[in-house]
Amino acid sequence: MNQNKTKGLLFAILGSVLWGGSGTAAQFVFHHQSIDPIWLVGVRLLTAGSLLIVYSFLKNGRKIFTIFYTKSNILWLILFALLGMVPSQLTYFLAIKFGNAATATILQFMGPLFIILALAVGSRTLPRRIDVISILVALIGTLLLVTKGNLGSLALAPLAVFWGLMAGVGQANYTLIPRRLLKNFDAALVTGWAMLIGSIPFAKIIITNRPASIDPASILFVGGTMLSYLFYLSSLNYLKPDTTGMLSSFEPLTATLLSILLLGVHFGLAETIGGLLILTTSFLQALPTRKKIV
């Protein structure tokens, strides 16, 4: 294994681990302190977005403003911010508030399922065989996760399940909407501007609802967010996107382990199997498809 690939693997794993850690920190903050998740999401968008724009400016200078030169770019950027970035962030942390970081992060991994369905509808074609298998595996996993194997009742609060699934939808929007922008602009730049634009609706609540004190969990939440973006984006310089996608499974694994060890969240056999099945879909989607021999 060459040095660049090793560096890429390290960056991708560190980024995912920090994402998982920030989710667990958010769970502690929501469940043990009177901090509004909407305020915390606004702070996350503002701070991480600012960091990415500074990073992009140091790398590319005034070229960071070229994305605003055409009306179509501005429109897609606003759509990405308000329909992709904000929903993916807000639904995820509402799922944590009403449930826990482990299940919220795992349910967010339903995103590929919604992407498969959206692309199939948009192209008016049937999903591939591997896509159908992925959907069935994800549905079985979700059923086990939210019922703990007792199919007659929900083991999670209905709002936790709802916002967790919406986090998956948000993740799909986050992936699909900016595709046109990402063909012409750097991912860090697109993400940074989208975060800053997405933080605008939160401006009033950020200013007026500041907590009385900031504890280590809140610092870990914000710091983990910023560093995770930088590590993840840096990994893309050395690895293929499908490889980083598979390594992102370290995020729910980290969130689950930290929730169990630090916050006393209990995961039984059914939830564990369900979570693993959902994570498996990422690996199924990375499998190469056979080409027909003519």
Q: For 102-133, how does the pLDDT look when each residue is reduced to its tens digit (9 = 90+)?
A: 888 888 878 777 878 888 888 888 878 888 88
φ/ψ of 266, rounded to 5, equals -100, 130
Please give the Cα distance from 254 to 18 (Å, whole number). 8
Please give the Cα distance from 232 to 52 (Å, whole number). 12
Please give the Cα distance from 15 to 23 (Å, whole number). 13
pTM of the complete model: 0.79
Separation of CA 58 from chain center: 26
pLDDT value for 229: 65
Residue 234, token pair as written in the block: 């840096």
- Is residue 43 within 8 Å of 203, Cβ to Cβ? no
3-state secondary structure 221-268: HHHHHHHHHHHHHHHCCCCCHHHHHHHCCHHHHHHHHHHHHHHCCCCC
Nearest residue to 270 via CA among 145, 108, 101? 145
Hey, which bits of the chain come out as E strands?
none
pLDDT tens-digit map of 32-65:
777 788 888 898 889 888 988 998 899 889 999 9
DSSP state at residue 209: -
- Is residue 248 within 8 Å of 16, Cβ to Cβ? yes
How many other C-beta atoms are found inside a 10 Å radius of the C-beta of residue 125? 9
pLDDT value for 119: 81
pLDDT value for 213: 56
DSSP state at residue 288: P
pLDDT value for 222: 58
pLDDT value for 126: 82
pLDDT value for 68: 96
The three-point CA angle 289-290-293 to 5° equals 150
Please give the Cα distance from 157 to 97 (Å, whole number). 11
pLDDT value for 3: 78
pLDDT value for 291: 45
Nearest residue to 53 via CA among 220, 186, 182? 186
104: buried, middle or exposed (CB in 10 Å: 19+, 13-18, 0-12)?
buried
Question: Sign (positive/negative) of CA torsion 123, 126, 130, 133?
Answer: positive
pLDDT value for 224: 62
DSSP state at residue 294: -
Below-70 pLDDT ranges, the chain: 1, 151-155, 210-226, 229-230, 232-234, 236-237, 240-248, 282, 285-294
Contacts of 119 (CB under 8 A, 6+ apart): 176
How many other C-beta atoms are found inside a 10 Å radius of the C-beta of residue 154? 13
Please give the Cα distance from 127 to 118 (Å, whole number). 10
